[in-house]
């Protein structure tokens, strides 16, 4: 029985690693580091609110849920950008927001205002946690679950978290919901698979968990039962997750550091909690638990390398400034450095683009403060490359066999220019330069190959970015030739791969 338990523990840890697409004492909710938020309104209010100088002292106010793609609208009155900024400033100062406290002519009471405010804040926090990403398999039924997560041991399917009484969480009490978020335990007392990142959600203050629940309660109930998990014995025995938790889960709320600024504490609260950055960016131990000594130093997830985001100047983001990080998290582009693709593009599109500027800057402040971890690189990923001139060399020349330069000019140069400089500069819809590009300059060419194979789709308020995948047009040998041409001319020339490597990456779950 001991060997069975150990085997299942390893599998459960693997699930936590695979799905993240994913030790402090418990405090009361009043020990959350920042004050409760009021509703902020439209996304364009972010800069105005940040300019007030008071946002850093308050919890982020929630955007209207109707602004979020694939998210049903919340039945509450919209807040204008100007009133939103005033509301946040008033909240930070401890005074009332512009909604006031007296009933309106229509009977809109202070309790009604507080309830609507709670739902708006919950919508914002659900965005920060990227809940819809895992709990939506069909955009026509958001939050109804059913997303398949493949593993070598079978497939698990995410649950329905709409307020449907029979197939969702409509019969769950608030205590049931809090226990799931904080302890990884379901309504029936069953251990939840750590594909659900409760190892991070346990740090979220109870009032914020309840705000998320209040928002989920406003969703349209969807009567849908996701498929049963397809896991063979003993991996279908949830009680064995007890052993995984013994070594890899430490229940308890976030503890603010009184020696740090409110902005730093806010960033730590988000990174270590709802945004669960560690799930993708932290290496795993032999049980697939997080390696706490190498926090945020990078890990491979489903074929994609989630890069080092510690402040190491060579391997990490130590040479990124606060504006670089804000632009990257808000739009998926840090000009001259990086363009989000793969799972990170989804995170930007579904989650971080909706966060306030104040929260994005707080995340940056915290990330720049964590211990730097060297990945062994000798040159920063965004410092490689120079323009190419192969187009002139190839004119009038007969090319035999698989030629990377020819394939690049035929398939890539229309958008990225034959020199690799890109087209459009730093405009929102520009075709990015491959020179000083963190994907081309990475020591491992896997991310570049994944981009060529599967393309890029990133939808933000500023631009809808789409690069087609070439996996159906080019074979493995041709993909490898293109990738090696790009790394040798525009990126890290030591990063190469073979047709066999490309074939392996083709099988990775998208």
Indicate the domain borders of the chain. Answer: 2-20+143-248, 383-506
Would you state the structure tokens that stand for residue 145, as one six-digit string?
A: 């679950």
> What pLDDT does 100 receive?
34
Angle between the N-to-C axes of helices 446-454 and 342-350, in degrees from 0 to 180, rounded to the nearest 10: 70
Q: pTM of this prediction? A: 0.76
> What pLDDT does 400 receive?
73
| Residues 220-245: b if buried by 16+ CB within 10 A, e if exposed | ebbebebeeeebeeebeebebbebbb
How many angstroms separate the CA atoms of 156 and 147, rounded? 8
Contact 34, 262 (CB under 8 A): yes
| Helix ranges restricted to H, 239-282 | 241-248, 262-269, 278-281
Which residues does 354 contact at the CB level (< 8 Å), separation at least 6? 43, 63, 67, 68, 124, 127
β-bridge partners, 304: 301
Q: Select from 449, 288, 363 the least CA-distant residue to 60.
A: 363
Q: What is the CATH number of domain 383-506?
A: 1.10.760.10
Distance, CA of 389 to chain centre:
38
Contact 192, 177 (CB under 8 A): no
Give the number of C-alpha atoms closer than 13 A to the C-alpha of residue 31, restricted to the C-beta side.
13
Find the angle CA(125)-CA(89)-CA(92) to the nearest 5 degrees: 70
Contact 94, 58 (CB under 8 A): no
Contact 235, 11 (CB under 8 A): yes
Tally of helices (H runs) and strands (E runs) in the chain: 20, 9
- What is the DSSP code (8-state) at residue 276? -
Q: Select from 322, 308, 289, 428 the least CA-distant residue to 50.
A: 322
> What pLDDT does 108 receive?
63
The pLDDT tens digits along the chain (510 residues) read 444 444 545 555 454 444 443 433 333 333 333 333 323 333 333 433 333 333 333 343 333 333 333 333 333 333 333 333 333 333 322 333 333 333 444 566 777 677 889 999 999 999 999 999 999 999 999 999 998 876 656 788 999 999 999 999 999 999 999 999 999 999 999 999 888 899 999 999 999 999 999 999 999 999 999 999 887 787 778 888 898 899 999 999 999 999 999 999 999 999 999 999 999 999 988 777 788 889 999 998 878 999 999 999 999 999 999 999 999 999 999 888 899 999 999 999 999 999 999 999 999 999 999 999 998 888 999 899 888 887 777 776 777 788 889 999 999 999 999 899 998 887 877 899 999 999 999 999 999 999 999 999 998 888 888 899 999 999 999 999 999 999 999 999 999 999 999 999 998 755
> What pLDDT does 344 receive?
94
Strands, sheet with 148-151, edge to edge from the N-terminal-most edge strand: 148-151, 154-157, 230-231
Q: Select from 331, 336, 286, 280 the least CA-distant residue to 309.
A: 280
Largest CA distance in the chain: 81
| Helix ranges restricted to H, 432-475 | 446-454
Contact 109, 161 (CB under 8 A): no
Please, is 496 exposed, middle or buried when counting C-beta atoms within 10 Å of its C-beta (0-12, 13-18, 19+)?
middle
Secondary structure (3-state) at 157: strand
Reported residue count of the chain is 510
Distance, CA of 106 to chain centre:
41
């Amino acid at each position: 029985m001991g060997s069975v338990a150990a085997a299942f523990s390893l599998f459960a840890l693997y699930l936590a690693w695979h799905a993240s697409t994913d030790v402090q004492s418990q405090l009361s909710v009043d020990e959350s580091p920042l004050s409760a938020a009021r509703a902020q309104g439209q996304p364009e209010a972010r800069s105005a609110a940040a300019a007030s100088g008071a946002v850093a002292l308050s919890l982020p106010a929630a955007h209207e849920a109707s602004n979020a793609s694939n998210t049903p609208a919340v039945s509450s009155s919209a807040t204008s950008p100007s009133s939103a900024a005033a509301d946040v400033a008033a909240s930070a100062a401890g005074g009332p927001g512009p909604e006031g406290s007296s009933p309106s002519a229509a009977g809109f009471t202070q309790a009604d205002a507080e309830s609507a405010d709670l739902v708006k804040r919950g919508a914002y926090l659900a965005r920060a946690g990227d809940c819809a990403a895992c709990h939506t398999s069909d955009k026509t039924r958001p939050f109804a679950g059913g997303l398949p997560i493949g593993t070598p041991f079978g497939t698990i399917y995410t649950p329905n978290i709409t307020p449907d009484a029979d197939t969702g969480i409509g019969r769950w009490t608030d205590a049931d919901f809090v226990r799931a978020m904080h302890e990884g335990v379901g309504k029936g007392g069953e251990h939840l698979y750590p594909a659900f990142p409760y190892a991070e959600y346990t740090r979220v203050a109870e009032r914020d968990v309840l705000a998320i629940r209040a928002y989920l309660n406003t969703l349209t109930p969807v009567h849908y039962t996701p498929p049963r998990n397809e896991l063979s014995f003993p991996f279908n025995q949830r009680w064995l997750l007890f052993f995984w938790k013994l070594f890899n889960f430490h229940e308890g709320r976030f503890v603010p550091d009184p020696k740090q600024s409110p902005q730093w504490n806010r960033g730590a609260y988000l990174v270590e909690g709802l945004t669960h950055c560690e799930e993708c960016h932290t290496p795993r131990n032999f049980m697939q638990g997080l390696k706490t000594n190498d926090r945020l130093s990078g890990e491979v997830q489903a074929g994609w390398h989630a890069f080092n985001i510690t402040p190491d100047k060579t391997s990490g983001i130590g040479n990124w400034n606060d504006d670089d990080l804000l632009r990257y998290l808000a739009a998926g582009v840090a000009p001259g450095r990086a363009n989000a693709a793969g799972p990170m593009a989804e995170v930007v599109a579904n989650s971080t683009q909706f966060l306030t500027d104040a929260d994005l800057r707080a995340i940056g402040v915290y990330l720049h403060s964590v211990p730097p971890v060297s990945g062994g690189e000798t040159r920063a990923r965004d410092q490689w490359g120079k323009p190419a001139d192969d187009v002139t060399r190839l004119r009038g020349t007969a090319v035999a066999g698989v030629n990377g330069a020819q394939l690049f000019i035929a398939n890539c140069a229309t958008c990225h220019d034959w020199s690799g400089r890109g087209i459009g500069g730093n405009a929102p819809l520009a075709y990015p330069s491959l020179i000083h590009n963190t994907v081309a300059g990475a020591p491992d060419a896997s991310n570049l190959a994944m981009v060529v194979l599967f393309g890029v789709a990133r939808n933000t308020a500023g631009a809808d970015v789409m690069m087609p995948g070439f996996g159906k047009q080019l074979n493995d040998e041709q993909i490898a030739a293109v990738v090696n041409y790009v790394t040798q001319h525009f990126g890290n020339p030591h990063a190469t791969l073979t047709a066999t490597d490309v074939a392996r990456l083709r099988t990775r779950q998208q």
